[in-house]
Structure 1
């Protein structure tokens, strides 16, 4: 089963940590990385915005992406959070098996 990396931007380190902890505890993600210091430039409601954000990367199985995305949306403070999943094309087989085991409950 392919693994997926889910890219999420959040408003703060606390929000990123909270979402990551829930996702791991609920078996929706094997682990998460919280990366502070992201600057995002985007168009919102007709004007260009520049905001500091925190990047959250969650590792999961491809089969859990939809459920994980829905749960993140429930927990997230934004009206329209950035939640984008990338399916792996390879990687260390032992690590990918560990990811699958974590989210499959084995």
Structure 2
């Protein structure tokens, strides 16, 4: 099976401001072509043996598989959660023009 060329990468954080910071940082670094922030969402999860409920903001990054490792490293470094959710979902189909734009916007900057 062929690896997908494009991904939607998801993370969550506990404030809209932090979500915007994560989104802007990834787009600025060309690790994502676009980041969307739906939210708030209600998350229910078990953490250190206790069931928690909290309000979070999702950040959905549009990127290429080629840039995933760098995006993950960026998110881990920039995130304030001890164990941030970072999940990549393959894009199996999409508009040719849109996916070409994602590829162009995430291409590493040329070095002089």
What TM-score comes out, normalization by structure 2 length?
0.90
* Equivalent of 1:38 in 23, 37, 41: 41
Q: Which residue of 2 aligns with 1:68?
A: 71
* Equivalent of 2:16 in 13, 19, 29: 13
1:59 Cα shift? 0.4
The answer as to 2:48 corresponding to 1:59 is no
Q: Which runs of 5+ in 2 are unaligned?
A: none
Q: Which residue of 1 aligns with 2:100?
A: 97
Measure, in 1, the Cα distance between the counterparts of 2:9 and 2:108.
19
| 3-state secondary structure, aligned to 2:37 | strand
Q: Which runs of 5+ in 1 are unaligned?
A: none
| 3-state secondary structure, aligned to 2:94 | coil
Measure, in 2, the Cα distance between the counterparts of 1:51 and 1:75.
21
1:64 Cα shift? 0.7
| 3-state secondary structure, aligned to 2:38 | strand
Q: Which protein has the bigger strand share?
A: 1
RMSD: 1.2
1:87 Cα shift? 1.3
